[in-house]
Amino acid sequence: MTAAEFIDAVRDANDTALSRLGSSKSLYADTQGEMEAEEVLRAAATAEHHAAETYEQWADESDGDVADAFAETAAEERDHYATVAGELDDHDPGELSAIQAYLRDLEGDVERLGGFVGRTLAAEKSKEQTTGFFVGEADPQTARLFREMGDDLDAQLERATDLLEAECGDDDDCWNRAEEAASGAIQAAYDEYTERLESMGVNPKPVC
């Protein structure tokens, strides 16, 4: 399997979850229904803070190129956090999200790289929604910040899948383990999205 085939497989296996995580309801869930600019920024800052801590933990527990990749990603997420938190008067990171709790339970480079891919695909959807929110708020400067952070996710995805190619090669079982971890990360985010909306009396499924 190639890196591109792996990404396609993960996206196909989680098409519904990713589609709904990319809807406006996802931002509504992240802010607990408080769709104001400050609450959107707070939710985004919390997500970046906890992602950085996860990747820092992984970097400390890995070796070689994999450790370097996690450390580089942690630094990017720290920069993202500083950027978003800088738009707020103050920020106290909120509780750990379901996806980050899931990621921190993963062990082994293959599983963590798979989880890395899953988190990145979910984060792409979040960045798209946040960017769109600030476009709608007629705040092009903040929208550009999130668009630029979204661009960093492309490099992160390439970083993770290049390492998976090196780790797995032609080993189907290895790729399957990575895909299971990636899907688990996306599903954790989707389950939390569903639970939050349902707790607010909102149907998580799109209304056609």
User: Cα 33 to the chain's mean position, in Å?
Assistant: 20
pLDDT of residue 207: 45
Q: Summarize pLDDT for 2-52 with one digit per residue, the tens.
A: 888 999 999 999 999 999 998 888 888 888 888 899 999 999 999 999 999
Residue with tokens 């798209």: 128
Is residue 177 within 8 Å of 1, Cβ to Cβ? no
Q: What token pair was written down for 164?
A: 């998976």
Domain ranges of the chain: 3-199
3-199: CATH number: 1.20.910.10
Q: What's the sign of the alpha-carbon dihedral 10, 11, 15, 21? A: positive
Nearest to 104 by CA among 140, 65, 70, 58: 58
Mean pLDDT, the chain, rounded, equals 92
CB-CB contact of 164 with 175 (8 Å): yes
What's residue 50's pLDDT? 96
Cα 176 to Cα 83, 89, 158, 170, 179, distances in angstroms:
36, 45, 18, 11, 5
Task: Give how far Cα 112 sits from Cα of 67, 99, 149, Å.
Answer: 11, 12, 22
At residue 208, the pLDDT reads: 38
62 pLDDT more than 50: yes
pLDDT range class, residue 206, cuts 50, 70, 90: low
Cβ atoms of 59 and 70 within 8 Å: the answer is yes
pLDDT > 60? residue 84 = yes
Local structure of 135: helix, strand or coil: helix
Polymer length in residues for the chain = 208
Assess contact for 204 and 194: CB atoms under 8 A: yes
CA atoms of 140 and 146, how far apart (whole Å): 10
Contacts of residue 186, Cβ cutoff 8 Å, sequence gap at least 6: 10, 14, 17, 18, 21, 99, 118, 121, 122
Count CA within 13 A, CB hemisphere, residue 185: 27
